[in-house]
Amino acid sequence: MTFLKKIDLAEAGTPVPAKCAPERLIAGDPDFLTWAFDDTRDGQIRTGIWEATPGENHSIKGETFEFCHLLEGVIELTEEGHAPRVFRKGDSFVMKPGYRGVWKTVETVRKIYVIVG
């Protein structure tokens, strides 16, 4: 077993498709694809690549911590009580436990994610 994992879409296999949960959907009809790379400690740490087509939904982190690095696209995140912030290809950000807001995919986005929690 190796303890070094390259995050490479060419080695990812077939993505898992999904739709936004109806109770979280605000606008549009976004499609989601997830290439899961690693799931360790009984699901407490997850890594992979995620893609979404344009749309807008409620984003609620609960007790999870998520690091994101955008490989493609443009999004606008609006945390409750704060002004909207735009992130583009090459940007990285963290959504901490307790984060609540709106995730708006402006241009199809693809991100590397690490979720802990």
For residue 58, give every residue at least 6 positions away whose Cβ sits within 8 Å of its Cβ, in sequence order, or none: 23, 24, 26, 100, 101, 102, 103
- At 86 the pLDDT is 98
What is the pLDDT tens value at each position of the chain, 117 positions in all? 678 888 888 888 899 999 999 999 999 999 999 999 876 767 789 999 999 999 999 999 999 999 999 999 999 999 999 999 999 999 999 999 999 999 999 999 999 999 998
Give the number of C-alpha atoms closer than 13 A to the C-alpha of residue 54, restricted to the C-beta side. 4
Provide the token pair at 112.
């590397």
Give the number of C-alpha atoms closer than 13 A to the C-alpha of residue 111, restricted to the C-beta side. 24
Taking the model in full, what pTM does it have? 0.92
Give the amino acid at 80.
E
14-116 CATH choice from 3.40.50.620, 2.60.120.10, 2.160.20.60, 2.60.120.560: 2.60.120.10
How is the chain split into domains, by residue range?
14-116
